[in-house]
Copies of this chain bind each other. A is one copy, B any other.
Amino acid sequence: MRIITISREFGSGGRELGKRLADQLGYAYYDREIIAAIAERSHLDSGYVENALERPVWQAPLPTFRHSFTTASLFQTEQLNLLLEQRKVLEDIAKKGQDCVIVGRNADIVLAEYGPLSLFVCADLEAKLRRCRERASQEENLTDRQILQKIKSIDKNRAKVREMITGSPWGDRTAYQLIINTTGWDIRQLTPAIADFARRWFDRGQ
């Protein structure tokens, strides 16, 4: 079984690359399906699950009096439970034994024993801003300043969650086989090069 994991900066096109890689290689593709599965197992709303998993545990609101202290602790316990559920969902995916691409969720760490090909996708701030602008839906009418704030805030949280789980910084180069900067690329043109790299990685030494 061949697993490709993709960590990515928000707006870098990592999700599009993952989807196209899966199509090109004929692999299964997992992304939002994971959140949906965790939500189902936990009997929670998937929006709530996504939000809880993207926030580092220690960023729960600071307790100011007894009642909110209890609330904060409950929230943290639930986050840890969700992380455990996430681990189970990822392990279930791996146990299916199909070749697959998994985007996000620190799957490279959780599924390390399966020897995934671990990719990290990044881009210049300018390129990420452009991509976010292009894909923004009509109802979501953010200014450039608001988009930049969103990029920074999401990535900051991803970095903290990663650090909490692995103890090493997000985007640390030795944690990945390849760090791909999508600046200047059309993802459609980039995909075959990464697919080729992946095939050679899995076939190496044979």
Contact = CB atoms under 8 A, between A and B. Distances in A.
Interface residues of A, number: 28
A3 to B, nearest CB: 15
Contact of A181 (B123, B176, B186, B194): B176
A179 B179 CA distance: 5
The interface residues of chain A, by DSSP majority, are classed as mixed
A173 B171 contact: yes
Of A124, A176, A186, the most chain B CB neighbours within 10 A belong to A176
A204 B185 contact: yes
A153 to B, nearest CB: 19
Contacts of A120: 173
A201 B180 CA distance: 12
Interface in A166-206: 171, 173-174, 176-181, 183-186, 189-190, 192-194, 196-197, 200-201, 204-205
Nearest to A194: B197
A178 B177 contact: no
A173 B174 contact: no
A180 B181 contact: no
A155 to B, nearest CB: 12
Given A173-B179, A178-B180, A189-B200, 10 more contacts: A124-B174, A171-B173, A174-B183, A176-B179, A177-B183, A178-B181, A185-B204, A186-B204, A190-B204, A197-B197
